[in-house]
């Protein structure tokens, strides 16, 4: 039997957070609803972050209110602090499976730019968020950004990434998505980073999150597969970027990842035709 790879669709969040204009709630919901029909089990739909920092995500409460949930799909949102947790709690619906994602960086420069605080402060801020999520039975996922390069500090040492992953998992056991935020990673460097991180967390608790600036994202996914990872983030239509990471264009496209996994003989449970339709819809939003 073919091995299963889990795809975490991040287009509606990591993609649309970076668009110049604000996309209407109706268009976001149409995209999320179509993605929900594809067989995807994880869709990141928005963020409860400061609307001054990321205005494109300010309507996440309405997106959650209006989407038409599929019972097997988990809808994820980013939460940086207790203020974001409160926003999530108010918007949370009893009839949908939800997940929150907390996010930190492996480099101090990006932590300051993205969260306005040091790495240590960001971990302190997310502790009560994770505790509240646990009390409320909400699954928590973690992100570590800049796992190979930082737009401000340059190359990031593999051991620094491993130490950051360990800091996050000391707060609570969680899946950690490793973000090549500006897409400068190469298979060789991603491999070295993963070798170090695998000393801090098992492959089953890790996901790869590759932006495709250097056109290396698919090769980086192949390297990650070779090292045992079976979960990857991608964005339909190659939407994406991070507003606080200059030089972070699209995430690797979901349709390209599915084609690669198909070719390599992995199972995803995702209908590529539905994803192709969603990719067209996503590209029309740019």
Distance from C-alpha of 240 to C-alpha of 116, rounded to nearest angstrom: 22
127: Cβ–Cβ under 8 A, 6 or more apart, which residues? Answer: 171
In the list Mg ion, ligand HMG, none, the entry touching 36 (Cβ below 5 to 8 angstroms by class) is: none
150 labelled catalytic:
no
**244 is an interface residue for ligand HMG by CB under 6 A:** yes
Distance from C-alpha of 171 to C-alpha of 197, rounded to nearest angstrom: 17
Q: Which stretch binds ligand HMG (CB under 6 A): 74-82, 91-99, 190-198, 216-224?
A: 74-82
Distance from C-alpha of 103 to C-alpha of 246, rounded to nearest angstrom: 18
148-177 residues near ligand HMG, rule: CB under 6 A:
none
Q: Which stretch binds ligand HMG (CB under 6 A): 73-81, 133-141, 185-193, 224-232?
A: 73-81
Among 50, 62, 66, 159, binds ligand HMG (CB under 6 A): 50
- Nearer to ligand HMG by Cβ, of 47 and 216: the residue is 47
Q: What is the CA radius of gyration of the chain?
A: 17
Question: What is the token pair recorded at 262?
Answer: 């198909």
DSSP letters for 94-137 = TTSEEEEEEEEESSHHHHHHHHSS-HHHHHHHHHHHHHHHHHTT
**87 is an interface residue for ligand HMG by CB under 6 A:** yes
5-44 residues near Mg ion, rule: CB under 5 A:
14
Q: Which stretch binds ligand HMG (CB under 6 A): 112-120, 157-165, 191-199, 263-271?
A: 112-120
DSSP 242: -
Q: Which stretch binds ligand HMG (CB under 6 A): 1-9, 22-30, 47-55, 222-230?
A: 47-55
The answer to whether the beta carbons of residues 250 and 235 sit under 8 Å apart is yes
Among 116, 118, 134, 136, binds ligand HMG (CB under 6 A): 116
β-bridge pairing 175-180 and 154-155:
unpaired
The catalytic position among 117, 146, 150, 242 is 242
| Short-list 44, 32, 40, CA closest to 5 | 40
Active site residues: 242
Give the interface with Mg ion as residue ranges (CB under 5 A).
Answer: 14
Give the interface with ligand HMG as residue ranges (CB under 6 A).
Answer: 14, 17, 47-51, 53-54, 78, 80-81, 83-84, 87, 103, 114-116, 143, 145, 179, 181, 209, 242, 244
């Amino acid at each position: 039997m073919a091995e299963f790879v889990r795809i975490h669709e991040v287009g509606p969040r990591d993609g649309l957070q970076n668009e110049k204009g604000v996309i209407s709630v109706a268009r976001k919901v149409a995209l999320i609803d179509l993605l929900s029909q594809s067989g995807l089990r994880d869709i990141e739909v928005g963020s409860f972050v400061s609307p001054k920092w990321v205005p494109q995500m300010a309507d996440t409460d309405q997106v959650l209110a209006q989407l038409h949930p599929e019972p097997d799909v988990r809808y994820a949102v980013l939460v940086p602090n207790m203020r974001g947790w409160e926003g999530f709690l108010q918007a949370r619906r009893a009839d949908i499976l939800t997940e929150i994602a907390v996010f930190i960086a492996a480099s101090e420069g990006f932590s300051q730019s993205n969260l306005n605080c040091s790495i240590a402060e960001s971990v302190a801020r997310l502790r009560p968020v994770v505790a509240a999520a646990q009390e409320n039975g909400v699954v928590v996922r973690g992100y570590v950004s800049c796992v190979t390069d930082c737009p401000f500090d340059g190359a990031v040492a593999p051991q620094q990434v491993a130490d950051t992953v360990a800091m996050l998992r000391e707060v609570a056991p969680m899946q950690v998505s490793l973000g090549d935020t500006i897409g400068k990673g190469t298979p060789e460097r991603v491999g070295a980073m993963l070798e170090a991180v695998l000393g801090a967390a098992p492959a089953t608790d890790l996901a790869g999150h590759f932006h495709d600036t250097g056109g290396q994202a698919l090769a980086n996914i192949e390297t990650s597969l070779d090292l045992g990872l079976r979960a990857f983030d991608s964005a339909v239509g190659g939407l994406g970027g991070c507003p606080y990471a200059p030089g972070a264009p699209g995430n690797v496209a979901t349709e390209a990842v599915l084609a690669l996994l198909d070719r390599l003989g992995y199972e995803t449970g995702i209908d590529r035709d539905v994803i192709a339709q969603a990719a067209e819809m996503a590209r029309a939003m740019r």
